[in-house]
Chain A
């Protein structure tokens, strides 16, 4: 008999074949990372059931490699195993799509076998679906059922589970239907798999679906069918193909003794040969002492049976949890409730309030305040008196425990917030950008994957002897690190401790990126995650200093709100009363906003009291009906400048220029150049997500920045216009900015045309012209363009080109001058009107509303003036930089930072596209320039994600901090 065992990241599967290669036994079980135990159990069962002593066997699966080595059995790579099985059991399939716990694979079987696996990103796999189901508070099979009743789809970032989460969370908070979300999740998975793995190769013909997620979720298969526009095959034993392949490969192997394998498996402890860290606690006594110290930091929690008299209400509607606190006049807590928001914040608050009112008729709410992601919704629904930005709420609470606090670090479910306090106001804040590793939900996910409650999981960590060193990176990588540690024999305690330590390292080195000295002496740690003693201990050990954890670490936001409500109480509270509560109604509907071409999907809540609340909007227009102050927003102006360049019919016909990357700056140049030569210049502004989805499978690198991915969309939109030529030059060099060491473009901007040429199959429909060109030297430029265009346009004459070039240079200069002029104008006007001026600094392509997610409009709606990095003078001395200033666009960032460093009303917010390697250098430098002059540095990391919640928090915090700072200056 032949036995194939497939040990995946979450399950162990086996297939037993008889001499005729017929499947006579199969099993599928979760191993909860106890691979050895599961293996022993399985082998024992097979041995007894079939009365076998010897067997031919092979092991496969992503978690099987270590074990195979240890017990000296052949290891078959799992994709290869699938292929072997497919050859045997399927009728000439063209393509196999197999999803596993953490892997996604596509096998192309015709025209040259090709196998694709997901790289370092586990988005769009079983683990991802599990995570999403958890987020919706349903189990995986319910998710499938829900999906059947969907009505509409939301766009969910499909690249990474982390991003998808930040897309879904706000949708949940806004009351989107679970049915629709479920279906959207499946579509996100399908998109991720197709775009991430197909990389330009068409998936067509007979397509087979294999693996757990595709076997269990009929709706997921449907999503794939729809995305691929075909009907996939779902074969029998779809779960067992890897095991079957391993069994087939075992035919070539020698007999082994089962008992011997069992013995070897049991002995395979790995003897802790992984890299370990010192234990969190050496002894019970040490732990007791630690407990005693932390028990001192507390406010009184009274929680009386009956609450009477005046109280103040604080509500913190966070991303995953809802916290409600009532305090009395002595600032003691008389009521508190910490609960998971279960995607339904509104009804939870409703119930809480109802219960409070009905139980405590003599309670009198004097004032109320809300904060967090759900702040606006709660405020509108229950007529809460005031709202406060999260950061302020936390600071208010922290002061209560430590009046001279220097640093607050709050680790919540999905976010890390840290603020540095200087002179009594928030001086700097750090938020995790588009990355939730190092947060509570991260530990939670691991705990439940291993079948533990988070409390029990945390306890395991405390006395672990050899915590695993898991490094400090993305959750996705953490999965594989954990896998590796298990392979190396780490126990569950050691993994738990290791995860706690890595949470801390993530927060410190990834989010704050600071050493202990930078944090200051008086540190408060808070947020639900710090209830976990293991995390708290790891934090103190890493910083080598004692910190204060309030007894209400998870309630600080709500408590701060209550304090804030108390401080700012004037007159009777507006909060909804008992009668109104009982009559409370909430209906939700979705509309597409048509006020601008962002076309935001708006969620409109209507409440019984005739008030309503709109969310999902990127700007204030649908709410206030005001257009925002576009005239003080240079981004709008820059977009308009480009749009004003119209095509002119000419003797040479149409030529298309993709509006992407550096074309956002170079367009005036090329537009004039080609118009002058008699071309009708065609471009498409603001490609939308539909274009993007269509073009997505031609993107060869899934980790490249979003602006680069959008080039594909821009090219596709030109192809849809059937232009006979597309011109997109490679530009190694940019124009020379003042005071720079060199004038490069970044490698992606410089050479993306090469990627387009190598990967966009549809280029066959047109003629793609992409010469290596620089515009620094006019003479060389003219000659090179002549060489480049001559083969296509035989009638082209050199004098024509010279003329066109001189017009182009002038148009380009004019364009840059106009922007600078407009910048000056905005600055002057804003100063007259006493408005804050924000330099929203990025790259030319950051004006694209799809790339910047309408951030410029969002910021403008806070009544500030917005200029860009290319609108301010760059006069500064390069020797004052601590970097090699060799990229033209990036040097403007340094210039802008130097320009505003001593201007009171000007501040800088840097837009950074996720995956921009160069910004790893620029952000540090810009930060240093600004902080060296007492300015607050704010960075907004953007990607495909469309969630603006975190960005709002950042920006509001910045404005609050600026206000505080300013009032301090004036007080003096």
Chain B
């Protein structure tokens, strides 16, 4: 049995912590928060076949694709020669849910051992108290910064998606995203931009900035993306799905990370309802839930009050939509959230939905593919295509299937325009 290498306080001083990439906007902000907390961190941007190769070599091949990619990306980076292997640590998230993802950290440790990199400590980032690491502690201020980073990230992602397909000057919205990421990161350093009032101001400013972008009026095919969280967000995981859809001239909507956070918290409340538990714990969870709901509301208000952009729907609405098709107790992996997001996207006019999942993803058999029939029964015009991602699945096949969905979508758009 291997001994777990603990990330000590000593290490915190001069180790570089590598973060695997998922959603670029949010993670860039998160990284900067950690830098502000005096950790040396680096966001991994290595892609290409070397990543998959390393994953296949060191991780059980039947394990889900996200594990393969995340671990592959880390090992590929470690083997690149760019890091001092005695001064590098890794960080990985762990949800503690009933799907395989909670085991990623163990798979990572096994992979490191296999690659002869046992000395590398692995930090688990989770909120369930699993696997503690004394060298990695975040103070309240940093935690608030992290939350704020996710809030800003969600708004930036949503607004840029609403602009990208219509912007008159190509690249304008992404440039604006970059500018805001820089600005916010700098402010975090000075402890700014995390208080409620300050956040409201900044969210408003961001919205106004995006509203200034000149946009075409022409109608575009609207495509929503849902799925297993890593594959949904990570371009490495979904073979640059967003770029592909952008090139096809679609407006994209990807539900934000706040939804996932709220989902995780809400599940504790639902668990208490279904299975009982400690009263005190429930109260704490409820406080957290309210707090994060408040954050979500700030995003909604910012858009509603300051622009004519589509207003994202609330978490309450998400629960309502989801429970039309699935029990809210279905909580492993993305659980009912994924089903709810499909319903919500459809209701919001994003009738063309790509449901991304790693090949053989267990929860997705239930909440993704398993629910499509019922959703279509409720609305036959809903156009959902499930796409599997896998090291061997070729992007030609995936694109072909998406093109089929788009062909049907374009036809309905034309019909709509004619009518």
Contact = CB atoms under 8 A, between A and B. Distances in A.
Given A480-B396, A917-B360, A700 B407 contact: no
Contact of B106 (A200, A746, A882, A915): A882
B37 interface: no
A747 B408 contact: no
Contacts of B380: 111-112
Interface residues of B, number: 73
B392 A777 contact: no
A902 interface: no
Interface stretch (A113-121, A138-146, A257-265): A113-121
Contact of B100 (A113, A484, A755, A921): A921
Contacts of A459: none
A120 B327 contact: no
B148 to A, nearest CB: 30
Name which of B362, B391, B406 has the most chain A CB atoms within 10 A of its CB: B362
Interface in A467-483: 469, 471-474, 477-478, 480-481, 483
Given A275-B49, A747-B362, A920 B60 contact: yes
A509 interface: yes
Contacts of A708: 365
Name which of A474, A480, A701, A887 has the most chain B CB atoms within 10 A of its CB: A701
B325 to A, nearest CB: 7
B332 A732 contact: yes
Contact of A480 (B106, B330, B393, B411): B393
Contacts of B96: 742, 886
A77 B403 contact: yes
A215 interface: no
A730 B330 contact: yes
Given A79-B404, A117-B401, A754 B370 contact: yes
Name B's interface SS. helix
Contact of A700 (B333, B363, B369, B392): B369
B362 A746 contact: yes
A474 B1 CA distance: 32
B391 A75 contact: no
A267 to B, nearest CB: 21
Contact of A758 (B325, B360, B397): B325
Nearest to B330: A751
Contacts of B105: 884
Interface in A752-777: 752, 754-755, 758-759, 772, 774, 776-777
A777 B275 contact: yes
B81 interface: no
Contact of A704 (B365, B367, B388): B365
Nearest to B57: A509
B56 interface: yes
A125 interface: no
A163 to B, nearest CB: 15
A353 to B, nearest CB: 43
A435 to B, nearest CB: 10
A703 B325 CA distance: 22
Given A477-B394, A513-B60, A732-B98, A924 B110 contact: yes
Contacts of B397: 62, 120, 480, 483
Contact of B1 (A80, A477, A754, A880): A880
B329 A772 contact: yes
B366 A751 contact: yes
B372 interface: yes
B390 A884 contact: no
Interface in A155-192: none
Contacts of A882: 1-2, 106, 109-110
A199 B373 contact: yes
A115 B408 contact: yes
A481 B392 contact: yes
A830 interface: no
A701 B49 contact: no
Contacts of B401: 117, 119
A112 B393 contact: no
Contact of B362 (A119, A275, A917): A917
Nearest to A483: B396
A956 interface: no
Name which of B64, B98, B367, B390 has the most chain A CB atoms within 10 A of its CB: B98
Contacts of B376: 112, 114
A748 B391 contact: no
Contacts of B103: 883-884, 886, 921
Given A75-B403, A915-B360, A484 B98 contact: no
B409 to A, nearest CB: 10
Contacts of B275: 732-733, 774, 776-777, 780
Nearest to A473: B392
Contacts, number: 215
Contacts of B363: 747, 751
B313 interface: no
A784 interface: yes
Interface in A583-628: none
B371 A758 contact: yes
A66 B57 CA distance: 30
Given A76-B407, A484-B395, A471 B56 contact: yes
A744 B363 CA distance: 13
Contact of B329 (A472, A730, A884): A730
Given A477-B394, A754-B330, A920 B274 contact: no
Interface string A93-121: 00000000000000000011111010110
A509 B57 CA distance: 6
Contacts of A78: 400, 404
Contacts of A747: 98-99, 332-333, 362-363, 365-366
Nearest to A745: B98
Contacts of A703: 359-360, 365, 388
A343 B392 CA distance: 32
Contacts of A76: 407
Contact of A119 (B62, B329, B388): B388
Given A80-B408, A730-B330, A758-B370, A746 B98 contact: yes
A893 B406 CA distance: 46
B290 interface: no
B408 A751 contact: no
A362 interface: no
Name which of B62, B274, B330, B363 has the most chain A CB atoms within 10 A of its CB: B62
Interface in B26-59: 48-49, 52, 56-57
Contacts of B393: 120, 477, 480
Nearest to B412: A113
B3 to A, nearest CB: 11
A217 to B, nearest CB: 25
Given A703-B359, A776-B275, A920 B407 contact: no
B98 A80 contact: no
A754 B106 contact: no
B407 A780 contact: no
B107 interface: yes
B374 interface: yes
B63 interface: yes
Contact of B276 (A471, A509, A704, A779): A779
B392 A474 contact: yes
A510 interface: yes
Contact of B60 (A481, A880, A924): A924
10 contacts: A79-B404, A115-B404, A120-B388, A700-B365, A754-B370, A755-B365, A759-B374, A886-B96, A917-B362, A920-B64
By Cβ-Cβ distance, the 3 closest A-B pairs, closest first, are A473-B392, A112-B380, A477-B392
Given A752-B366, A754-B326, A758-B325, 13 more contacts: A75-B403, A76-B407, A115-B408, A119-B388, A469-B49, A471-B56, A480-B393, A484-B394, A700-B365, A700-B372, A758-B374, A772-B329, A917-B362
Interface of B: 1-2, 48-49, 52, 56-57, 60-64, 96, 98-100, 102-103, 105-107, 109-110, 114, 130, 274-276, 325-327, 329-333, 359-367, 369-374, 376, 380-381, 386, 388, 390-397, 399-401, 403-404, 406-408, 411
